[in-house]
């Protein structure tokens, strides 16, 4: 098994370029910030970027928890990659990661400056410092499925395949905002989520009143929503309810980064048009 490493200070764009570097090395797996990634899938691990504190993030990135380290070791045994790329802030860090996972020390340690210009590194640092933008080298849908509860947006980059000169493919990566930043921690109150759900519900044609909205936290980053609306008479109730579910899920997930597992709609009432004044 061949081990390679890409190192550079935090926020210099290592994760952004991880897939390109792995492609050039023909490495089948990437270890980055507590995750084991193969191609477009998160195989195992828990992202350091979803930890609530910086200390927790450091521990996760170094696989200091025995169960976390063992999960990666078991996954690597099953995956059996020939080449692995490890990302870290220094040579010492990647050696510690390799040691924790029972891997050989990297046979080649590359600096981020070999793959990014000084201007690109400055830009990456600016986005990290001012917008708390981080990258997980995996597609958005995969990140949402494996790591619910974080704000995530897609990022597309070009990959030039080594074995096919001139051929370029798109690769999607995920830009995320961790639960912690240098300025503090972000939490979202149930009342704020209820307000978002209510706003989405009122945008649906046929909903005359949102009624009671209840937020149920099922586990970290995953919620369900109960709503009891009033629907206007004359419209297909099942169609209005279906659109209500879609709009609420879309609005809450896009705005908060939380995963909405289900939206339960209980139509409590039908509103009828006001009677017109009788004519003689």
Residue range 55-83, pLDDT digits in tens:
877 888 888 888 889 999 999 999 899 99
| Fold matches, 2-180 and 190-271 | no
Secondary structure of 147-182 as H, E, C letters? CCCCEEEEEEEEEECCCCCCCEEEEEEEEEECCEEC
- In CATH, 2-180 is 3.40.50: yes
Q: Distance between CA atoms of 279 and 277, rounded to whole angstroms? A: 6
Residue range 209-235, pLDDT digits in tens:
999 999 998 876 688 999 999 999 999
Under the banding of pLDDT at 50, 70 and 90, the label for residue 50 is low
More confident call, 254 vs 176: 254
Beta-strand pair 29-32/83-88: parallel
Domain boundaries in the chain?
2-180, 190-271
End-to-end CA distance of the chain: 93
Instruction: From residue 247, give the alpha-carbon distance in Å to each of 85, 200, 250, 260.
Output: 41, 6, 5, 11
Residue range 96-142, pLDDT digits in tens:
999 999 999 999 999 989 888 888 888 878 767 666 667 777 666 66
Question: What 3-state class would DSSP assign to 100?
Answer: helix
Kindly report whether the global pTM for this prediction surpasses the value 0.85. no
CATH topology of domain 190-271: Alpha-Beta Plaits (3.30.70)
Q: Which of 10, 33, 14 is closest to 128 using CA atoms? A: 10
pLDDT at 4 over 90: yes
Query: DSSP readout, 105-146?
Result: PPSEEEEGGGTS-HHHHHHHHHHHHHH--EEESS-HHHHHHH
């Amino acid at each position: 098994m061949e081990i390679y490493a890409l190192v550079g200070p935090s926020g210099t764009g290592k994760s952004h370029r991880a897939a390109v570097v792995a492609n050039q090395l023909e490495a089948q797996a990437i270890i980055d910030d507590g995750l084991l990634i193969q191609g477009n899938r998160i195989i195992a691990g828990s992202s350091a970027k979803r930890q609530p504190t910086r200390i927790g993030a450091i521990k996760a990135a170094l696989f200091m928890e025995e169960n976390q380290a063992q999960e990666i070791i078991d996954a690597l045994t099953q995956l059996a990659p020939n080449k692995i790329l490890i990302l870290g802030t220094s040579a010492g860090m990647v050696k510690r990661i390799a040691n924790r996972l029972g891997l050989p020390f990297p046979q080649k340690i590359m600096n981020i400056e070999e793959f990014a210009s000084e201007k690109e590194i400055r830009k990456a640092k600016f986005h990290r410092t001012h917008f708390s933008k981080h990258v997980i080298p995996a597609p958005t849908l995969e990140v949402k499925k494996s790591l619910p509860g974080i704000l995530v947006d897609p990022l597309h980059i070009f990959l030039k395949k080594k074995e096919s000169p001139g051929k370029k493919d798109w690769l999607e990566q995920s830009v995320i905002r961790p639960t912690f930043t240098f300025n503090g921690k972000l939490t979202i109150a149930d009342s704020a989520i209820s307000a978002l759900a209510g706003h989405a519900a009122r945008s649906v044609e046929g909903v005359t009143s949102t009624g009671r909205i209840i937020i149920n936290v099922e586990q970290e980053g995953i919620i369900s929503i109960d709503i009891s609306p009033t629907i206007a008479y004359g419209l297909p109730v099942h169609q209005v309810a279906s659109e209500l579910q879609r709009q609420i899920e879309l609005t809450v997930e896009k705005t908060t980064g939380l995963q909405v597992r289900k939206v339960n709609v209980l139509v409590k009432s039908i509103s009828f048009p006001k009677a017109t004044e009788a004519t003689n």
